[in-house]
């Protein structure tokens, strides 16, 4: 009996060596193939989001650094506003533009009402415009990023589903062969290998998505802090020159 089992084990190993990963995937059952197709789709979408967000946030940081350098080297807000048109991907630049537009509206009403209460109310409008711009920029930067977290959390379970289904098929084959009086490991090696491939592809889709999600969340947090710091500095400048 031990010799027979050893022969079956050698036969299964030789069959596994003869079949590559692609051949095993093509021989998989319909449910496993559907699972693999879904995981591959998840991986493609994940890498698209990773590439898109990486270039977007990289350019946002670069343009924000250039804008801040331009801002602190300039002396007139109107010239800074004109220069800010060159930094359309900079979140800090967009926050400045929103605050400057609201400030120009207040300046146009300056002659009509010069009371302190009106000035303070105007500053509140500028502050609200800055906060609204920050929220819009954060929303833009965070778009599609939560989907990476979704892929990272669900892809392993989808792969596990394919694994469980493949193992179930393997045991069904064992049960059928047992009833026939003969059991061969070569028969069940294929479904088990298919099941393991589903798990591997699930991890392949999930691991980069989780790493990229954490990386992008950190980058977005840094950009958010820069916008908040700039907003506070801009309000201080407005207070010094508007409330005098």
| Average pLDDT rounded to a whole number, residues 8-12 | 43
Q: What is the pLDDT of residues 51-103, one digit of tens each?
A: 999 999 999 999 999 999 999 998 888 889 998 889 989 999 999 999 998 88
Q: Which residue has the tokens 């250039």?
A: 66
184 or 207, which is more confident: 207
Amino acid 10: pLDDT: 43
Both tokens of 87, joined, read 């930094």
DSSP label of 244: -
Compute the C-alpha angle 99/103/104, nearest 5°: 120
Band (pLDDT 50/70/90 cuts) for residue 3 is very low
127 or 166, which is more confident: 127
Q: How many residues does the chain have?
A: 244
Please provide the average confidence, as pLDDT, over all residues in the chain: 80
Structural domain for 139, as ranges? 2-242
Q: Which of 29-33, 40-44, 161-165, 186-190 has the lowest mean pLDDT?
A: 186-190
Amino acid 177: pLDDT: 57
Both tokens of 204, joined, read 């392949």
Q: Which residue has the tokens 């798990």?
A: 199
> What is d(CA 170, CA 80) in angstroms, rounded to the nearest whole number?
69
Least Cα distance to 36 among 197, 153, 183, 144 occurs for 197
Amino acid 220: pLDDT: 96
pLDDT at 42 over 70: yes
28 neighbors 170 (Cβ within 8 angstroms): no
Q: What is the pLDDT of residues 223-242, one digit of tens each?
A: 999 999 999 999 998 888 76
Q: What is the pLDDT of residues 103-162, one digit of tens each?
A: 888 776 655 555 544 555 567 888 899 999 999 999 999 999 999 999 999 999 999 988
> Domain total for the chain?
1
Backbone angles phi, psi at 8, to 5 degrees: -65, -40
91 or 10, which is more confident: 91
Helix ranges, 109-184 (H): 116-142, 145-180
Band (pLDDT 50/70/90 cuts) for residue 202 is very high
Band (pLDDT 50/70/90 cuts) for residue 19 is low
239 neighbors 123 (Cβ within 8 angstroms): yes
């Amino acid at each position: 009996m031990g010799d027979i089992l050893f022969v079956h084990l050698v036969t299964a190993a030789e069959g596994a060596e003869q079949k590559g990963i692609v051949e095993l995937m093509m021989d998989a059952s319909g449910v496993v193939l559907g699972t693999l197709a879904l995981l591959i789709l998840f991986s493609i979408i994940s890498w698209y989001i990773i590439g898109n967000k990486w270039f977007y946030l990289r350019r946002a940081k670069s343009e924000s650094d250039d804008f801040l350098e331009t801002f602190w080297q300039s002396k007139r807000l109107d010239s800074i506003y004109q220069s800010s048109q060159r930094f359309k991907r900079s979140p800090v630049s967009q926050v400045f533009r929103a605050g400057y537009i609201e400030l120009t509206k207040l300046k146009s009403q300056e002659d009509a009402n010069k009371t302190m209460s009106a000035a303070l109310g105007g500053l509140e409008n500028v502050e609200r415009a800055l906060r609204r711009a920050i929220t819009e920029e954060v929303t833009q930067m965070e778009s599609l990023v939560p989907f990476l977290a979704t892929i990272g959390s669900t892809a392993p379970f989808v792969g596990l589903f394919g694994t469980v289904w493949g193992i179930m098929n393997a045991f069904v084959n064992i049960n059928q062969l047992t009833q026939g009086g003969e059991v061969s490991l070569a028969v069940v090696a294929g479904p088990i290998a298919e099941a393991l491939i589903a798990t591997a592809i699930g991890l392949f889709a999930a691991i980069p998505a989780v790493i990229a999600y954490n990386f992008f969340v950190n980058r977005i947090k840094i950009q958010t802090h820069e916008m908040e710091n700039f907003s506070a500095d801009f309000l201080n400048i407005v207070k010094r020159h508007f409330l005098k």
